[in-house]
Every structure is written in C-alpha cells, then in structure tokens.
C-alpha cells in the first residue's frame, strides 16, 4: 500500500513539474516569469487585439489566364499546321463557383481539317478536353483533375505570396493558412496579432504590382544623401532612389538611382525557379507573360550591358546586368548561393498574386479592447474560482482541500497542454475551460457525495472512500466519454471557434480524469494509510 | 455540513407544472422570435459591419444615428451598452448586402466619426486613433526639422511606449491631454512639442471593427448548426449504447429543450446570437448532458438493486439521492458564471448570459424533461405488453437489459 502511494506520488509530482515547466519554463526573475508565461500561453486575436482577415482567392482568374495562354499557343500551332479557323475566344466568368465554366471556344474549323485539328489538340494540350459543338465549332475545357490541381495551386501560391508580403511587414506571429474547406471555397485566413491598422495590412496584401523590374540609372551610393549630392540635390526627372535590401546585419548600405516606370511589373511575372547552370553556379530562371515578354524583349535588346534591378516594395532585392535579349523567359545568373537563388525566385513569384483576392471577413480588435477584456476576464475568472474554492472548503471541510488541489492542478495541466500543443487561447476556448472546471467540480462533488452516502450507510471510512471512488468512477466515465464524443463531432464538422472549443474541452476532460480521480484518490489514500481504525473523515 | 440529507421529494409527481412551464417558455420564445421577424443573429452569422467606439463623454446617440442613416442605406443600428464596464461605448452596425460593401461601409463609418466628432480639416493626425506606424511616419520628418536627433529605433520605441500607455486601462484607448505622455521613458520636450504640433486628440477611439460578408456569415451559421446536430446525434448513440435507446432520446430531447429555451430567452431579452454565444450554447449542451447522465447513471444502478420497485418511485429515489450533488454542482457552476456575467465586461456579455440561462434550464430539464420521457415510454410499452398475453409476465424492472455488467462495480 505504502509503495503504491509513493509510486503514484512520483507520477503526480513529475506531471506537475512537467506542466509548470511547460507554462513558465525555468525563470530566473519575476519579469522573466511573466515574459515566459505570455510567450507560452498565446492568446487569440479576440483577446489580445489584432487583425483577422478571411479572403477568397478568385481562382477563376487563374483558370481564365491559363485558358487565354492556351488559346494564344493554339493560334500559333494552328498557323504552323496551316489549319484555318474562324474565331477563338475565352468566355468571361465572374464568380468563383463558375471557375469550371471557363472554356475556349473555337469556331469555323473546316470539316476537312477536323481530324488533324483533333489530333493536334490531343497531342499538344493533354490537360484540355475537346468537345465538338457542331461540325465546325468546338470548345476546350480543362480536365476536372487538372482544374482541381490548378485551383489548389492557385490558392497555395496566393498563400505563399501573401505570407511573403506580410513578412515584409516584419511580423513575428502572423499566420496565413487555408480556411474552411479551402478546396471548394478557396478561402484563406490571415491573422495578424497586434496589427491595429488593417487598412495598411490589406493594402499590402491586396496589391499585386509591388514587384517591379526597373532600369538602373546610376549607383551604388553609400547613402541616400550621397545619391542626392551626386545630382545636385535634385533627382533627375522620372527617377527614384531605392535602397538595396541588406543581406546581413553588418551589410553596408547601398542605394541606386532607378527609372521610376518599371520595365516589367509583378503582374506580368508568371513563374520563377531556382536552379544551377552548366557550371553549377546558382541562378534563378523566370517566365513572363506574353505581353510582358514582348516589351521586355524590345527593352533588353536596346539596353544590353545596362543593369536592371528587381525591386520589391521599393527595396532592391537583386541587381543584374543585361547580357542578351530576353523575351518571355530569362535567367538571372551568377548568384552567390542556393539561398540567394531560392530567395530571389520567391521574391519574383511573390510579386504577383496568381488571382485577385477579395475580403470576405475582416475583424480588427484594438489592443485596448483586448487589454480590457483580458483584465475583466481575469477578474471574473478569479472571483468565480474563489467563490467555488470557499464553497468547497466550507461544505466539504478537509476533503474540500483535495478538491481545490485537484481543481488547481487541472487548470495547470490545461494551460500546460495549451502551451505544449502551441494552441491559442480564444474566447470559445475559455468557454471550454469553464465547462472543464464545471465538470471538474462535478467529479469531485460526485465522489464526495458518494463517500458521504456510504458513510451514512454505516461503512468504515476506508471502505466508504473505496466504494465512493468505485461507484462514482463509472458515472464520471459516462459523462466524460459522452462529452468527448460530442467534441469529436464538433471538431470534425465545426469551423474555427467551434473547433477551438472542442480541443480545449477534450484536453480539460483528460486532465480532469487524472486530477479528480487519480490525484484526489492518492491524497485520500495517503491520509488514510496506516490509520485503519480511523472513525471519522472530515468530509 | 450537509444540506440535503435523505430527502424524499416526489419530483416526478410534480412533473406537469414544470413540463407546462417549459412549454410556455418555449412557445414564448418562439413567439418572440416570430414577432421580431426571426432569430436576431449577430454579424458573425448574417454579415454586416460592426464598429465599437469609445467616447470621452456620454455620446449623443441621436446625432450618430442620423449621421449614419444619412450616409449609409439599409437597416443601421446605433446603441450603447448597459454594462457599466462599457461606459460611454457605442456600437454602430450596418447591414451588408454583398462583399464589395465591406470596405465602403467601414470607411464611411470612420468618416462619419471624424466629421462629427474629430477635426477633419486641421491637417493634424488624430493621436487617439493612430497606429504606431502612422505616428512614426507622421513625426519622423518634423522631428528632424525641429532638430530632435533620434534614430528610427528610438522613434519606434517612443511611439510604442505612447501607444501602450494609451491602450492600457484605465485609459483604454483615449487620452485627454498630451501632458500625460510627458513622463514616459524616452519622451523629451522636443518630442512633446512636435507631437502637439502634428497631432490632436479626438474625443473618441475605435475599439473594434468587425466586417463579415453575408456569404461567410451564412456558411458559418450552417456549419455551427450542423456540427451541433451531429454532436447531439453522437451523444444519443453513445448513451443508447451505454443505457437504453430511450435514455439517449430523453437526454438529447432535454438538451435540445435547453437550447431552444435559451435561444428563445435571447430573443425575449433582445440579445444577439454571435459566434461566442454558440460556444456558450455548446457549453450548456455539455453541462446539461452531464447533469442528465449523472441521474440516469443512478437510475441504472438502482434498477439492479431494487428489482421490484416501480420505475416512477425508483426514479424519484435516484433523483433524491443525487440531489445534493445536483445542487452543489449547479450552484458552484452558477457562481462562476454569475461572476463572469457581472464582471466579465461587454465582450463576454452574450456568452455569460447564455450560460446563466443554460445552467438554470439545464439543471431542471434533467429532472423534469429527461426522466419523464423515459418514464412515459416505459409506462406506454408496459401497457402494450399487458395487452399482449405472451409478454404479460415479463417483470418491468428488468427493462434495462443492455446495462453492461461492469457498471455494477
């Protein structure tokens, strides 16, 4: 019996140590304790303030762009193979739900050429399905699987792009992720803790054309002042000064004089990839839209030997010298490292959103409101908890201490779980905690009332404690399992806040079984151990 | 101390007044919902713009209302809070027919506030509604011109200190005098002068802006409703498996009854159903279910001990035996919730209101709704069995045959 108790005590102490460590770490001072606590127990936007955005990616834009490019290529192919056609166009689609209705319609293919037309399409455009409308007219649509791929890729790219754009804001805790059933609603959730200026954040997120490729007129200079001084204090017409993005902390400032109108902007950037050239030097290759490619071709031809700067958000991320005429696909070579090439390709891609995004939901909670609600919530929570503790102690006397210990331990385990799982505490999460505390109180009350009943029935103290725990056990199992079952459904079918509620509640219930049954029982056993003749129990 | 020792109340004998009261409450709630043209959803579920503004002094609601109505079409609401913690706060809500209005309405509301309460034409920055970044940008050049030497980091730090000071209670976003800032770390006379030149203090502060597009709102609402219904079905199956199917049905009907009455009470008291209220409703579902199962559990246990006892008196005994626990648990939980309701502030208001209603209704529904349903069914099936001669001798008390033997531990 004694051994058994010390073994259980070890488990309990180890759990407490682990939990306390999870919540506050190993603080060396009061300030550090506070700091660790707020770092580990992360509060949701509704409690601490910040901006929450749900945006919908207009995937039909990307589907349409793909169809238009395909139509352009097809025109070229038809010309090469001398197949005549009357007209070709892509229909307008404005709603996300209609992305699958985007189609290229080709009119007036002579019936004599229909078989060569069909084989051309099936050979060169495997992602498209060709449907004949009548003997001369056809429509082409993306295959359903390719459509899904394109859509999910568009959402992923939008998430990447927006994530990169927000990185530029210098936020440590931002989160950009798919929201809801993103495969059918194409929504993304953006959370910006502490941002109280949603207009600015949205401006940055929504702007597609912040990536520019500009011609370098002069530079580098060591500072803005030096650049200004070189030109007598006034910049030449149509130019601007931009700073190169520092690569490390010790990097010297570099400023360049750039042409104000970009040669190519981010909306025309189609893709970019990091790779190695034949000498295994790192490079970044990129593709431009047809329109952009044409303009870039003319410009690069006339400016061989001049420099170009890739500018993101008015910061130069790369400067390269034009070596040859570049049309719709080019390479930036001679990069220092793989990191540099990958970064550059990310910047190039991030400049353009693959499709428009529209805001479906926006919430900005001012930090003062957050501070107020935390303050009031804490006051209310402490008041409630104190009332419960006092009532338990008055009503159950010595045994009430057990319950209070179990209750406090329950809260500690719950907070530790929040910290270890990197969960975020939101208002619905707190609802879950309140229900947990309610059920924790209930478990204790159930057990104590049962022990009292058994004592009234004339059982000895030890037998009554034993029977009380034993009989209450199955009630506790039933109530807890029922709630866990309901949480599983809430988690599976619910969204955002409902899920947060379910997760906290399940954690709390598991903690509760541990504290109310295991810990409380151990304390009872410890008190009763070696006192077989005990006549009275303070309960 | 013990309050309810060996009580012997005839709960089930008094079930009718309570069942009727429940029906009346439900009908009243439904009536109120119909009279008000449907459930009053918050913007989480119906879409719209909601702005909470804190004013320096008691705000003139009529002035705000007419300004909003003049600028924005549709059904607009302007209301203040009864909660003393939300003194001088006003909530302005507008409808939203489609997603494109999202930004238009917010900007319109901001302009209305600026034009009516701020100083729109003096060219200064409103410190009470500025963000750290806009403050830094506003001050940087004037500070340089005034010859106050400081690095960008220093300026950011000072701006952050000012914002933090402004946003912590009791200021809560509003300061009345720039002089309050002069004692903050890093603030000197030069900064104060520039600040006074470049900024002014509007007598209001926007605490919160929420905008939900109608499509998202409808989606959130459906998701929440379906998740709850599936959860109820899941609980029904589990209880049916552990007890008997009628117990599961009784428990789920009782919980459903609690939810309906609470939603009805929300309508009667003109409270809105928001996402946090849904969290509270889920909490009360969990709470009420817990309460019901405790009583059912005792009934199951007693059925095994008192085989000859008629079900009604057996249920009464079980309810009486668990009464002390029911009162203790409900009372203690009620204490927590009341604390939340009284001190929790406006953000938690709807949430704690739902819990206050829910705990009262949830406690009595276990006794007066869930138990009678099980009793009615057993009485009904007994009568049918008596008619059928083959089954006539089947002893009633053996009914929960499915009770697993391990429960007898």
Residue B2 domain flag: no
B97 CB contacts (<8 Å, ≥6 apart)? B74, B214
B234 in reach of chain A (CB within 8 A): yes
How many angstroms away from the CA of B393 is the closest CA of chain A? 32
pLDDT band of B395, cuts 50, 70, 90: very low
A330 CB contacts (<8 Å, ≥6 apart)? A285, A286, A288, A296, A300
Average pLDDT over residues A25-48: 82
Q: Convert the pLDDT of each residue in A142-167 to its tens digit.
A: 999 999 888 888 888 888 878 877 77
Is A367's pLDDT higher than 80?
no
- E-strand stretches of A138-186: 138-142, 175-179
Domain limit, last residue, from B174, B202, B230: B202
Question: Same domain for B398 and B298?
Answer: yes
On chain A, the residues whose CB falls within 8 A of the CB of B226 are 493
Q: What is the mean pLDDT of chain B?
A: 85
The answer to whether the beta carbons of residues A168 and A312 sit under 8 Å apart is: yes
The answer to whether the beta carbons of residues A151 and A127 sit under 8 Å apart is: no
Question: Same domain for B88 and B191?
Answer: no
CB atoms A438 and B287 under 8 Å: yes
What is the pTM for the complete model shown?
Answer: 0.72
Instruction: Return the CATH number of A59-145, one of 3.30.1460, 3.30.40, 3.30.1240, 3.30.2450.
Output: 3.30.1240
What CATH code is carried by the domain that includes residue B108?
Answer: 3.30.70
Q: How confident is the model at residue B407, as a pLDDT?
A: 40
C-alpha B309/C-alpha B318 separation (Å) is: 12
Instruction: Return the C-alpha torsion angle A190, A196, A197, A202, nearest 10.
Output: 0
**Prediction ipTM score:** 0.76
A471 in reach of chain B (CB within 8 A): yes
Residue B4 domain flag: no
Residue B301 domain flag: yes
How many angstroms away from the CA of B353 is the closest CA of chain A? 12
Q: Convert the pLDDT of each residue in B229-261 to its tens digit.
A: 999 999 999 999 989 899 999 999 999 999 999
On chain A, the residues whose CB falls within 8 A of the CB of B168 are 368, 371
Q: Convert the pLDDT of each residue in B172-230 to its tens digit.
A: 788 888 888 888 888 888 889 999 989 999 999 988 888 888 777 787 788 888 888 99
Superfamily of domain covering A2-49+366-528: Multidrug efflux transporter AcrB transmembrane domain (1.20.1640.10)
Question: Same domain for B61 and B32?
Answer: no
Q: What residue in B sits closest to A440 (Cα-Cα)? A: B329
CB atoms B213 and A180 under 8 Å: no
Chain B interface disruption, residue of A51, A97, A166, A434, most B CBs within 10 A: A434
A476 in reach of chain B (CB within 8 A): no
Is A1's pLDDT higher than 70?
no
Question: Same domain for B55 and B194?
Answer: no
On chain B, the residues whose CB falls within 8 A of the CB of A384 are 335-340
B62 in reach of chain A (CB within 8 A): no
B381 in reach of chain A (CB within 8 A): no
Q: How confident is the model at residue A182, as a pLDDT?
A: 57
| Rg value, chain B, Cα | 30
Average pLDDT over residues B24-33: 93
A378 in reach of chain B (CB within 8 A): no
Q: What residue in A sits closest to B214 (Cα-Cα)? A: A360
Interface of B with A in 269-288 (CB under 8 A): 275-276, 278-280, 282-283, 285-287
CB atoms A485 and B227 under 8 Å: no
A133 in reach of chain B (CB within 8 A): no
Q: Convert the pLDDT of each residue in B55-65 to its tens digit.
A: 988 888 898 99
Report the candidate in B287, B273, B269 with the shortest Cα–Cα distance to residue B365: B287
Domain limit, last residue, from B179, B202, B225: B202
Residue B3 domain flag: no
Instruction: Return the CATH number of A211-331, one of 3.30.1360.200, 3.10.20.30, 3.40.50.300, 3.90.930.12.
Output: 3.30.1360.200
On chain A, the residues whose CB falls within 8 A of the CB of B262 are none
pLDDT band of B393, cuts 50, 70, 90: very low
Question: Same domain for B171 and B233?
Answer: no
Question: Same domain for B34 and B156?
Answer: no
Domain ranges for chain A, please list them. 2-49+366-528, 59-145, 211-331
Question: Same domain for B187 and B218?
Answer: no
Distances (CA, A) of A503 to A20, A150, A242: 20, 33, 48
Q: What is the mean pLDDT of chain A?
A: 82
Is A5's pLDDT higher than 90?
no
B128 in reach of chain A (CB within 8 A): no
CB atoms B172 and A470 under 8 Å: no
Q: Convert the pLDDT of each residue in A313-339 to its tens digit.
A: 677 878 888 888 888 888 888 777 777
Select the more confidently predicted residue: A508 or B386. A508
On chain A, the residues whose CB falls within 8 A of the CB of B319 are none
What is the dihedral sign for C-alpha A212, A214, A216, A221? negative
CB atoms A497 and B347 under 8 Å: no
CB atoms A363 and B210 under 8 Å: yes
CB atoms B345 and A485 under 8 Å: no
Q: Convert the pLDDT of each residue in A221-267 to its tens digit.
A: 888 888 888 887 777 777 888 888 766 545 677 888 888 777 887 76
CA distance from start to end of chain A = 23
Alpha-carbon B407 to chain mean position: 37
C-alpha B132/C-alpha B390 separation (Å) is: 84
Average pLDDT over residues B106-127: 86
Average pLDDT over residues A28-34: 85
B324 in reach of chain A (CB within 8 A): yes
Q: Any idea what DSSP says for residue B41?
A: B
Considering chain A, what percentage of its residues have pLDDT values greater than 70?
A: 90
On chain B, the residues whose CB falls within 8 A of the CB of A198 are 209
Q: What residue in A sits closest to B336 (Cα-Cα)? A: A384
Indicate if A211-331 has the same CATH topology as A59-145. Answer: no
Which of A395, A435, A470 has the CB atom closest to B328's CB atom? Answer: A395
CB atoms B340 and A380 under 8 Å: yes
Q: How confident is the model at residue A204, as a pLDDT?
A: 63
Domain with B250, as residue range(s), is 12-40+213-408
Question: Same domain for B290 and B324?
Answer: yes
Domain limit, last residue, from B202, B237, B252: B202
The answer to whether the beta carbons of residues A118 and A130 sit under 8 Å apart is: yes
pLDDT band of A139, cuts 50, 70, 90: very high
Q: Convert the pLDDT of each residue in B135-147 to its tens digit.
A: 888 888 888 888 8
Q: What residue in B sits closest to A366 (Cα-Cα)? A: B207
Q: Convert the pLDDT of each residue in B312-355 to its tens digit.
A: 999 999 999 999 889 988 988 888 888 888 887 777 788 889 98
How many angstroms away from the CA of B216 is the closest CA of chain A? 6
Q: Which residues of A265-292 are buried (b: 16+ CB within 10 A; e: fewer)?
A: bbbbbbebebeeeeeeebbbbbbbbeeb
Q: What residue in B sits closest to A490 (Cα-Cα)? A: B227
Q: What residue in B sits closest to A365 (Cα-Cα)? A: B208
Is A197's pLDDT higher than 80?
no
Residue B1 domain flag: no
Which of B2, B224, B344 has the CB atom closest to A376's CB atom? Answer: B344
Q: Convert the pLDDT of each residue in B34-89 to its tens digit.
A: 998 888 888 888 888 889 898 988 888 898 999 888 888 888 888 888 777 678 88
A206 in reach of chain B (CB within 8 A): no
Question: Same domain for B169 and B314?
Answer: no
On chain B, the residues whose CB falls within 8 A of the CB of A438 are 287, 290, 329, 332-333, 336
A135 CB contacts (<8 Å, ≥6 apart)? A111, A114
Is A76's pLDDT higher than 70?
yes
Residue B7 domain flag: no
Is B398's pLDDT higher than 50?
no
Q: Identify the burial level of A401 via C-beta atoms within 10 angstroms of its C-beta, where 0-12 means exposed, 13-18 middle and 19 or more buried.
A: middle
Structural domains counted in chain B: 3
What is the dihedral sign for C-alpha B255, B258, B260, B266? negative
Q: Convert the pLDDT of each residue in A172-195 to its tens digit.
A: 567 888 887 656 778 888 888 776
Q: What residue in A sits closest to B217 (Cα-Cα)? A: A361
CB atoms B205 and A180 under 8 Å: no
Q: How confident is the model at residue B297, as a pLDDT?
A: 92
Q: How confident is the model at residue B401, as a pLDDT?
A: 46
Distances (CA, A) of A480 to A275, A341, A343, A508, B318: 55, 54, 50, 10, 20
How much helix, strand and coil, in percent to the nearest 5, is found in chain A? 55, 20, 25
Alpha-carbon A293 to chain mean position: 34
Report the candidate in B298, B152, B157, B100 with the shortest Cα–Cα distance to residue A449: B298
Question: Same domain for B145 and B248?
Answer: no
Beta bridge partners of B79: B91
How many angstroms away from the CA of A286 is the closest CA of chain B? 34
Is A290's pLDDT higher than 90?
no
A439 in reach of chain B (CB within 8 A): yes
Question: Same domain for B59 and B170?
Answer: no
Report the candidate in A171, A166, A155, A108 with the shortest Cα–Cα distance to residue A135: A108
Interface of A with B in 384-403 (CB under 8 A): 384-385, 387-388, 391-392, 394-395, 397
């Amino acid at each position: 019996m004694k051994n058994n108790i010390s073994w259980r005590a070890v488990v309990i102490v180890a759990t407490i140590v682990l939990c306390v460590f999870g919540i506050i770490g190993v603080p060396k001072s009061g300030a550090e304790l506070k700091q660790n606590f707020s770092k580990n127990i992360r509060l949701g936007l509704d409690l601490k303030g910040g901006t929450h955005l749900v945006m919908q990616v207009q995937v039909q834009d990307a589907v349409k762009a793909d169809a238009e490019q395909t139509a352009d290529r097809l025109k070229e192919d038809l010309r090469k193979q001398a197949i005549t056609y009357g007209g070709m166009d892509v229909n307008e689609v404005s709603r996300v739900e209609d992305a699958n209705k985007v189609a290229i319609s080709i009119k007036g293919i002579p019936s004599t050429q229909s078989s060569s037309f069909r084989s051309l399409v099936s050979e060169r455009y495997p992602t498209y399905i060709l449907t004949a409308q009548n003997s001369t007219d056809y429509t082409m649509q993306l295959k359903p699987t390719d459509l899904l791929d394109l859509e999910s890729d568009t959402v992923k790219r939008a998430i990447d792009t927006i994530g990169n754009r927000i990185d530029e804001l210098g936020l440590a805790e931002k989160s950009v992720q798919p929201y809801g059933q993103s495969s059918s609603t194409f929504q993304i959730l953006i959370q910006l803790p502490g941002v109280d200026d949603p207009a600015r954040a949205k401006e940055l997120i929504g702007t597609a054309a912040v990536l520019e490729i500009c011609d370098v007129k002069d530079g580098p200079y060591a500072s803005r002042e030096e650049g200004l001084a070189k030109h007598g204090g006034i910049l030449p017409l149509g130019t601007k000064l931009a700073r190169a993005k520092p690569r490390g902390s010790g990097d010297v400032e570099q400023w360049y004089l750039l042409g104000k109108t970009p040669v190519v902007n981010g909306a025309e950037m189609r893709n970019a990839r990091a790779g190695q050239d034949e000498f295994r030097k790192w490079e970044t290759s990129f593709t431009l839209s047809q329109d952009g490619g044409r303009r870039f071709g003319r410009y690069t031809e006339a400016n061989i030997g001049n420099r170009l700067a890739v500018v993101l958000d008015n910061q130069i991320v790369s400067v390269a010298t034009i070596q040859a005429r570049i049309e719709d696909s080019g390479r930036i070579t001679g990069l220092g490292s793989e990191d540099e090439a990958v970064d550059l390709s990310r910047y190039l891609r991030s400049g353009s959103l693959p499709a428009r995004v529209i805001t479906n939901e926006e919430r900005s909670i001012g930090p003062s409101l957050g501070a107020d609600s935390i303050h009031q919530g804490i006051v209310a929570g402490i008041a409630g908890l104190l009332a419960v503790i006092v009532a338990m102690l008055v009503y159950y006397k010595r045994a009430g201490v057990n319950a209070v210990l179990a209750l406090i331990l329950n809260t500690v385990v719950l907070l530790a779980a929040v910290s270890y799982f990197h969960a975020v505490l939101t208002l619905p999460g707190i609802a879950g905690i309140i229900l947990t505390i309610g059920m924790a109180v209930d478990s204790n009350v159930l057990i104590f009332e049962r022990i009292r009943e058994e004592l009234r029935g004339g059982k000895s103290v030890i037998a009554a404690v034993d029977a009380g725990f034993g009989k209450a056990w199955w009630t506790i199992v039933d109530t807890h399992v029922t709630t866990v079952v309901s949480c599983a459904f809430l988690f599976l079918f619910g969204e955002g806040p409902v899920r947060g509620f379910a997760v906290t509640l399940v954690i709390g219930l598991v903690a509760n079984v541990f504290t109310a049954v295991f810990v409380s029982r151990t304390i009872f056993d410890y008190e009763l151990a070696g006192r077989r003749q005990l006549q009275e129990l303070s309960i | 101390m013990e309050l309810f020792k060996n009580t012997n109340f005839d709960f089930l004998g008094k079930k009718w007044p309570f069942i009727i009261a429940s029906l009346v409450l439900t009908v009243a709630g439904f009536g109120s919902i119909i009279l008000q043209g449907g459930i009053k959803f918050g913007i989480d579920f119906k879409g719209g713009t909601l702005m909470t503004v804190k004013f320096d002094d008691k705000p003139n609601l009529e002035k705000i209302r007419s300004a909003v109505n003049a600028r924005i079409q549709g059904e607009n609401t302007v209301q203040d809070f009864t909660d003393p913690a939300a003194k001088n706060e006003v909530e302005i809500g507008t409808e939203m027919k489609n997603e494109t209005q999202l930004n238009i309405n917010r900007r319109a509301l901001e302009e209305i506030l600026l034009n009516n309460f701020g100083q729109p034409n003096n060219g200064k920055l409103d410190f009470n509604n500025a963000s750290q970044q806009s403050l830094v940008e506003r001050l940087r050049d004037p500070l340089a011109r005034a010859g106050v030497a400081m690095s960008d980091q220093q300026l950011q730090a000072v701006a952050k200190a000012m914002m933090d000071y402004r946003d912590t209670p009791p200021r809560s976003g509003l300061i009345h005098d720039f002089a309050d800032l002069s004692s903050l770390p890093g603030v000197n006379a030069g900064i104060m002068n520039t600040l006074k030149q470049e900024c002014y203090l509007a007598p209001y502060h926007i605490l919160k802006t929420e905008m939900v597009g109608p499509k998202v709102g409808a989606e959130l609402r459906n998701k929440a409703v379906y998740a709850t219904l599936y959860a109820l079905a899941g609980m029904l199956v589990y209880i049916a498996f552990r007890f008997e199917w009628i117990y599961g049905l009784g428990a789920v009907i009782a919980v459903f009854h609690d939810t309906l009455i609470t939603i009805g009470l929300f309508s009667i008291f003109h409270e809105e159903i928001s996402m946090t209220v849904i969290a509270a409703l889920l909490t009360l579902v969990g709470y009420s279910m817990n309460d019901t199962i405790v009583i059912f559990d005792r009934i199951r246990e007693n059925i095994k001990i008192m085989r000859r006892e008629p079900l009604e008196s057996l249920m009464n005994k079980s309810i009486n035996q668990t009464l002390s626990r029911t009162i203790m648990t409900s009372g203690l939980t009620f204490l927590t919730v009341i604390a939340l309701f009284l001190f929790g502030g406006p953000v938690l208001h709807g949430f704690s209101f739902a819990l206050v209603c829910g705990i009262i209704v949830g406690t009595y529904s276990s006794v007066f709704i869930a138990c009678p349903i099980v009793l009615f069914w057993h009485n009904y099936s007994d009568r049918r069995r008596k008619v059928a001669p083959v089954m006539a001798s089947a002893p009633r008390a053996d009914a929960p045959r499915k009770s697993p033997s391990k429960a007898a531990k």
